Amino acid sequence: MMFCTKCKSILLPDKDNPKKIRCNNCGYVSRGNKGSIILKEKTKESKKIEIIDKSIETLPKTEAECSKCGNKHAFYWLNQTRSSDEAETQFFMCTKCKHRWRSYD
């Protein structure tokens, strides 16, 4: 990484002349570079998020009969699938077999 000799800011490639580098802080411009300028950035890898328990249920439950297995409980959520002046669509997912269906009530 190159720094300005006057104000110690980082020098960046000049937009008008790619063989020169310029300081955006004080306006210093280098005399020129015979080769190409390569900018690199080092970053530390952040820790990846691990899913410990995939079975945690976060959706609310309601009493609704599944047409596939006959179970009486389902998770539900609402989504606006049509225009905004119409009612939301209710989606259900069986707590037992994970079958999904919707209701337009």
- State pLDDT tens for residues 37-86: 666 777 777 777 776 665 657 889 999 999 999 999 999 998 888 788 88
| Chain center to CA of 39 | 26
The residue extents of the domains of the chain are: 1-38, 61-103
In angstroms, the Cα distances linking 24 to 12, 35, 50, 72 are 8, 21, 42, 67
Question: Out of 41, 53, 63, 85, which one is annotated catalytic?
Answer: 85
87 band by pLDDT with thresholds 50, 70 and 90: confident
Q: For the structural domain made of 61-103, what CATH number should be given?
A: 2.20.25.10
Question: Out of 14, 86, 88, 105, which one is annotated catalytic?
Answer: 86
Contact criterion met (CB below 8 Å) for 29 and 10:
no
Residue 86 a catalytic site member: yes
Q: What is the pTM of this model?
A: 0.46
